Amino acid sequence: MADPILELKDVCRFFGGVRAVDGVSFCVSKGQIKSIIGPNGAGKTTLFNVIAGNMKPTKGNIRLQNRNVTMLPDYKMASLGVTRTFQTIKIFSNMTVLENVMIARHPRSRAGFFSAAFRFPWMRREETSLIRESRKYLEFFDLLGKADHPAHTLPFKEQRLLEFARALANEPVILLADEPAAGLNTRETKDIAALIKRIRDTGVTVLLVEHDMSLVMDISDEILVLDFGKKIAEGTPEHIRKNDEVIAVYLGRRAEGA
């Protein structure tokens, strides 16, 4: 394996006596689509929260591009190139579609309160560039025609696309996508699968949590399986499809000896 973009070693997150994530180790290589699967309550979203800096791990080590980022908060992780989408769509519904994307670009601008108040010429040029770049991301997701629409007026699928556009506008090195197919029909799910491949083809590594197994098997280079917070399997889709322990978990056969 090439040097990983993301590496976790013995990562744990406990809530009192509940071991939501329990000693999980894995790597994600540049250019991969890697999926995390498991039954409800397996610890998938908690693991995402720990990686993104929304929660601190109880113990363990997280490295991003060979840098120790174990205890960094979410805004620091975002500045280093870790962005995410959520199972429940989180957009700024009172803003326009374009403004939602511009927000993600602002950390890359130089303008502060003083310069914004006085509207220096360089600041106006920067704002023009910000709008131009934001529109490029909308175009990538076929949302440019709705740039000036209030975000809350978009259909559900297009709100999902807007969330992806905003995530990519931050120029991530790795995108954490939490159940992007949630709430979508079969045709829309296929569209999201194709979209995730397009995102990967732009050079963004993707770490995915998803319940739709047809989507996972179709687009993943590798799959990590969690159960009760522990890693029980990791490998290619073909390897996971034939893994007896994974089959037992998904069929509910947890009896002793299964």
Structure tokens at 255: 């009896």
* Euclidean distance between CA atoms 215 and 115, whole angstroms: 47
54-60 long-range CB contacts below 8 Å, 24 or more apart? 55/13, 57/11, 57/12, 57/13, 57/21, 58/12, 58/13, 58/14, 59/10, 59/11, 59/12, 60/8, 60/9, 60/10, 60/11, 60/12, 60/23, 60/24
Q: How far apart are CA 121 and CA 198, in angstroms?
A: 37
User: Does residue 25 have a pLDDT over 60?
Assistant: yes
**Residue 2 binned pLDDT confidence (cut-offs 50, 70, 90):** low
Cβ-based neighbours of 116, under 8 Å, separated by 6 or more = 123
pLDDT digits over 224-252, tens only? 999 999 999 999 999 999 999 999 887 66
Mean pLDDT score of the chain: 89
Helices 156-169 and 97-105: angle between axes, nearest 10 degrees: 20
Confidence of residue 124 (pLDDT cuts 50, 70, 90): low
Mean pLDDT on 168-180: 94
More confident site: 110 or 100:
100
CB 222 within 8 A of CB 214: no
**Residue whose pair of structure tokens reads 């303008």 in the numeric block:** 111
Check residue 111 and give its pLDDT: 52
pLDDT attached to residue 86? 87
Q: How large is the average pLDDT for residues 32-59?
A: 95
Total-model pTM: 0.86
Residue 208 has pLDDT above 60, yes or no: yes
For residue 110, what pLDDT is reported?
56
Q: Evaluate if residue 14 carries a pLDDT over 80.
A: yes
> Which DSSP state fits 71?
T
Hey, is 77 helix, strand or coil?
A: helix
Task: Decide: 213 and 245 in contact? Cβ < 8 Å.
Answer: no
Predicted confidence (pLDDT) at residue 136 exceeds the cutoff of 70: yes
Q: What is the mean pLDDT of residues 104-130?
A: 60
